[in-house]
Amino acid sequence: MFNRILSYIGRLDRYRMLVGLRETGILLVSILAVKMGTKTGKGLQRVLQRWSFFKSLDGEKSVQVLSAGAHEFRVSYGGIQPDDRRVEMALRVPMWDSSDSQVFEQIFLRKEYLQALEWFSRRCPAGEINAIMDVGANIGCAALYFTTKFPDANIFCLEPEAGNYQRLTLNLGLNRKKRIRCHQAALWTEARKLRCTHDFRDGKEWGSRFVEPPEDGCDAQEADAIDIAEFLGKTGFGQVDLFKMDIEGTEAVLLKNPKFKDFLKEKVLRIVMEVHEEFIKTDEAIAVLKSLGFETNVVAEFVCAVKIPCLV
């Protein structure tokens, strides 16, 4: 018990050094209010959310919290790894109702993509990963995580949502030595305009969906859409070693598109894709990939696929 108290005091002191004495005092008032059963307002709830996020980061040896301001946390991931395998990120803090912290936790703390990469390594141990497409890049967490495993890989990110794309470019700017490029657009079956909707799941940025505009128009955010041929042309890749896709249900549209299926069959060696069963069932997605010559497996939240010739 005594050691736990000392550990808690040490963590609180590290938080104080980041946010200052005043903010720490507000945190202590918030904690006390919860302990006493007092109903807390939204402001104090967000203070507690920030503290909770800090605790999750502070407990990770591979993560260092560089700063914790009113609008964002700056964090470094990589621990004692060489410089080419460390990354720095700016995350919108939970008090702004952003999904950044959840995305970071999913990728860097729970390491869900690592499980997929380990499966690829077992099925194709001699295969190198040099060219990566990241479709639905969000704020760049997955792309930057991939650089910690493949520091020499060339990565091209596609992200349509304006706030996410702004944060993506900021995070790539913090890691200028990485070979990552990005473009703001949605992947679709043709070049056109799409509108943003936040009616999916928790309504935060990571659940943003881009759909065809209604005939009567609307005031929602719009984004350019490009087809797979245009996207491939922008990357300059002759072959895609890893195709990552997390696009909140649009995979249901793409997996029915002949040109997109031809792209997967002819150009892609590995796929890691999040399937959203509200739009397409996992078994349906797997059936499409198998018909294109892939071996498949469900790993963590992802459908993973590897081209069978790679196994020979």
Indicate the helix (H) or strand (E) that contains 302: strand 302-307
- DSSP secondary structure, 88-133, as one string: EEEEE-GGGT-SHHHHHIIIIIS-HHHHHHHHHHHHSTT----EEE
CATH 3.40.50.150 placement within the chain: 111-311
Sequence-separated (6 or more) residues with CB below 8 Å from residue 119: 297, 299, 304
**CA–CA separation, 17 and 3 (whole Å):** 21
pLDDT in 10s for each residue of the chain, 312 residues: 777 888 888 999 999 999 999 999 999 988 988 888 887 787 888 888 889 889 989 988 899 999 988 788 999 998 777 777 899 999 988 655 688 888 999 999 999 999 999 999 999 887 889 999 999 999 999 999 999 999 999 999 999 988 899 999 999 999 999 999 999 999 999 988 887 665 544 444 444 655 666 444 555 678 889 999 999 999 999 999 999 999 888 899 999 999 999 999 999 999 999 998 888 999 999 999 999 999 999 998 899 999 976 654
- CA proximity to 273, closest of 302, 251, 240: 302
Q: Do the strands 222-226 and 242-245 form a parallel or antiparallel pair, or are they unpaired?
A: unpaired
- The pTM assigned to this predicted structure is 0.89
- CATH dotted code for 111-311: 3.40.50.150
**CA–CA separation, 227 and 233 (whole Å):** 10
Q: For the purposes of burial, counting CB atoms within 10 Å of the CB of 90, is it exposed (0-12), middle (13-18) or buried (19 or more)? A: buried
DSSP state of 300: T
